[in-house]
Amino acid sequence: MKKVIPHVEEHKFSIMQRILDGTVTITSAEEFKDILGIYPLDPFLHRKYGDLLFDLKRPAEAMESYQKAAQLFIERGMSLQAIVAKILQWQIKKPTHEEGRRFYAMLHEEGSRQTPLQRFWARMSYAELVAVMRRLVRVRLPAHKKVTRAEDPADQIYFVVSGTLWEMPSADCASEADRAGVDLDPVLLGPNDIFGDIFPLDQPTVADAEIQTVTEVELVRISKEMLASICSKFPQVQTLLQEIYKSENRQNCDRSWQTVRRAMRFGLPTRVAIRCPAVGATKTAWACAGIAVDLSMSGMCVDLGAALAKNPKQNLRGRLVQIKMDLLNDVAVLNLSGKIVWQRQQKSQKGSITLIGIRFETLSAMDREMLTEYCSGSVGEQNLLWSLWDSMVKTENSL
């Protein structure tokens, strides 16, 4: 009889994404650092680590983490997120003129110009960038929270730093569309999107849509009044903003959704068999099957389910492991080696489960190529893998 696999819904998001969206809370800086050891190039994790260090009254270390996050964000073309990381860093310690200039040069030279919003940040002068950054206000909102209501005064412009929101048509607009037999679907907004019906700046305006959070979100906003003041001094800022608001740009803007797509892709549920060899007389050999709910080129998180339920205090941290990974077919099977660098208990719908973090010790060129192929398919390939997984789960649960 085959082992029953937990339902796919429990693995829709990776451990990394759970940390980022707040469903998993880590309060130990040392434990968080272990996770960063597996995902050293993820800017959102460095940003989250900086938040934790700041809460723990470790400002100098928090500044370093924010600085690292800003650099990684820029390398990924995520200028807005880099700017917010710098704002957090400079709130701890005011930057020198030279530090501000260095960041501007890095943003100007390395920042992507693929979308209107990226061009907005990259084309500003140093004085214009400073003027806007100084007046940005960070906002954190929980899921299912109304941000704007149709017909309310539109007195703020919002930039989406992280999370997702629905943009829904007003009741009048939906009613007219219904009478005309036209379906109006809500628009999903994500990182690097912008909203707020603020133009023309010199006249009162009202929101023409309702915005509601889908997940926990982080936004930065600037008031219409403050923006008008900036634009009166720096007319190019208004020109760049109006470029974003052109209808063709609003419709065709590249919503690549780096974070969400990456979390889904690297969160693909992947079967793994793990074996820990015996170590002397104190540590006996141990083996278990699990599901890799997060996967990268440097390591992975594995859900062991209730395998340690009878002995939840068994410490696997530091153990060397041999890993067999089944990439959902009979041909693509990887045999890797690694080390368990962290372990934690977590509650689920079916009780307590154990999660472990494994850092790969060796990865051949062929292994890396197979992992890259598996983790970075198109959206169509992604859906195909999820469908295959669903069918496998249903088949095995019926045995």
Q: What is the CATH number of the domain that holds 361?
A: 2.40.10.220
Among residues 133, 161, 192, which one ends one of the domains?
Answer: 133
- Evaluated on CA atoms 301, 302, 303, 306, the torsion sign reads negative
Q: What is the pLDDT of residue 6?
A: 41
Q: What is the pLDDT of residue 361?
A: 83
Are 301 and 356 in contact, with CB atoms under 8 Å apart?
yes
DSSP state of 9: G
The answer on 361 and 335 residing in a single domain is: yes
pLDDT higher than threshold 60 for residue 234: yes
The answer on 189 and 236 residing in a single domain is: yes
List the structure tokens of 206: 């009202």
Residue 254: partners with Cβ closer than 8 Å, 6 or more residues away = 114, 115
Give the residue numbers spanning the domain of 110.
Answer: 15-133
In this prediction, residues 104-119 reach a mean pLDDT of 78
The answer for 196, left when phi > 0, alpha when psi is -120 to 50, beta otherwise, is left
Q: What is the number of structural domains in the chain?
A: 3
Q: What is the mean pLDDT of the chain?
A: 78
Residue 258 lies in a domain: no
Q: How confident is the model at residue 375 (pLDDT cuts 50, 70, 90)?
A: low
Residue 241 lies in a domain: yes
Residue 317: partners with Cβ closer than 8 Å, 6 or more residues away = 340, 341, 342, 343
Q: What is the pLDDT of residue 169?
A: 73
pTM: 0.65
Among residues 86, 103, 133, which one ends one of the domains?
Answer: 133
Q: How confident is the model at residue 251 (pLDDT cuts 50, 70, 90)?
A: very low
Say how far apart CA 150 and CA 208 lie, in whole Å.
5
In this prediction, residues 205-225 reach a mean pLDDT of 90
In the chain, what is the straight-line distance between the N-terminal and C-terminal CA atoms, in Å?
A: 7
Q: What is the pLDDT of residue 111?
A: 63
pLDDT higher than threshold 80 for residue 256: no
pLDDT higher than threshold 80 for residue 194: yes
Higher-pLDDT residue of 67, 16: 67
Q: What is the pLDDT of residue 200?
A: 85
